[in-house]
Amino acid sequence: MRLAFMGTPDFAVPTLEALISAGHDIAAVYTQPPRPAGRGKKDRKSAVHLAAEQAGLEVCTPPSMKDEAAQQAFAALNLDAAVVVAYGQLLPVTVLNAPKFGCLNVHASLLPRWRGAAPIHRAIMAGDTETGVCIMQMEAGLDTGPVICRAVTPIKSVDTTASLHDTLAEQGAALINEALEGFAAGKLVPIAQAEEGVTYARKIEKSEAKIDWSLTADEIDRQVRGLFPFPGAWTDIAGERVKILSGTTYDKTGTPGTSLDDQLLIACGKGAYRVDRAQRAGKGPVKTADLLRGFPVPSGSVIG
């Protein structure tokens, strides 16, 4: 098929690679323009941009697909379909309707649950036991289009956004060629999403990263895992902001936010949470035992 690919972050790269491996004619790759990043604030190309260049594909970086010239250039590609994975722009109807078979989106949730920007984070933080990937025919609404096919994966008690991100990225890549072939041949018919069970995965705000020790230990564990690696859950210890990277829940009780021993077992609203790995500002991630060598937190210390 003659395709355009539209995506930006690491999550989208496996799907692009799957399309290349299948031998599709990829007329153009659309991605977000290079942005200032890093300490030097130099323009940095997206992960998809770099992967497309390495594959010798034409890369387009229009600031907005709402621009009429950008829409005309897209229509002139005479596409069978466009595959969209975390592109980072809302596509106008003229773009969605330009390819023969429209635009297909790889979305990292079991729609209609977790429409929106941060489905992986929200699924973990909400305590969902499963998630997955949907290949959806795009329409004007936010992730409201009918679903062509889906795959389910369990959310394990140790999963983080980082680990689930990689699993779902590969799952989407494994589905996309089957979806394209079946949809174009009429063998896979898009099914409208259910009207009940709709939830929205709003963008993660930095204000959500501070740990509230009055929550249950299970809720805090999900917060830590859901916000790893970015932006990272954190708490105040001895006047210093410390990122909590991983931990373990315990059936212990105490005043929420109080250290129950000298090894960072912290009382929660229900249960307790043992910090296993953490990171002080300006330093690297370490195990708790290494953190405490030069940064003791005695029993009874108030955390938060």
% of the chain at pLDDT higher than 70: 100
Residue 110 lies in a domain: yes
* Within a domain: 301: no
Chain-wide mean pLDDT for the chain? Answer: 96
Measured CA distances, 120 to 62, 108, 131, 171, 204 (Å): 27, 7, 8, 13, 11
Distance between CA atoms of residues 40 and 18, nearest Å: 34
User: What are the tens digits of pLDDT across the range 50-102?
Assistant: 999 999 999 999 999 999 999 999 999 999 999 999 999 999 999 999 999 99
| pLDDT computed for residue 285 by the predictor | 97
Assign residue 117 the CATH number of its domain: 3.40.50.170
User: Confidence class of residue 248 from pLDDT cuts 50, 70 and 90?
Assistant: very high
* Domain co-membership, 7 together with 151: yes
Examine the domain organization and report whether 82 and 185 are in the same domain: yes
Q: Is the pLDDT of residue 43 over 80?
A: yes
For residue 41, what pLDDT band results from cuts at 50, 70 and 90?
A: confident
Residues 92, 234, single domain; the answer is: no
**Shared-domain flag, residues 260 and 161:** no
Q: Count other C-beta atoms under 10 Å from residue 39's C-beta.
A: 5
User: Does 192 lie in the same domain as 96?
Assistant: yes
What pLDDT shows up at residue 66?
Answer: 95
Domain final residue pick, 146, 181, 200: 200
- What pLDDT was estimated at residue 203? 94
Looking up residue 245, the CATH number of its domain turns out to be 3.10.25.10
pLDDT in tens, 271-286: 999 999 999 999 999 9
**Backbone CA torsion sign across 294, 296, 302, 304:** positive
On whether residue 237 sits in a domain, the answer given is yes
Last residue of a domain, one of 200, 234, 261: 200
Q: Are 177 and 217 within one domain?
A: no
Task: Specify the pLDDT at position 113.
Answer: 98
Q: Does residue 238 share a domain with residue 113? A: no
The count of domains in the chain is 2
**85: phi > 0 → left, psi -120 to 50 → alpha, else beta; which?**
beta
- Residues 21, 166, single domain; the answer is yes
Structural domain containing residue 127: 2-200
Residue of 43, 45, 51 whose CA lies nearest to 15 = 51
Tell whether 123 is covered by a domain.
yes
Known binding-site residues equal: 109-112
Same domain as 266, residue 144: no
Residue 153 has pLDDT above 80, yes or no: yes
Structure-block tokens of residue 46: 């997206």
CA max distance for the chain: 68
Point out the domain boundary residue: 177, 200, 223. 200
- The binding site for (6S)-5,6,7,8-tetrahydrofolate comprises 109-112
Examine the pLDDT at 38 and tell me if it is beyond 90: no
**What pLDDT score was predicted for residue 303?**
96
Query: Is 230 a member of any domain?
Result: yes
Backbone angles phi, psi at 290, to 5 degrees: -70, -35
Q: Say yes or no: 230 and 193 in one domain.
A: no
Residue 221 and residue 130 in one domain: no
Residues 37 and 120 grouped into a single domain: yes
Residue-level pLDDT at 39:
75
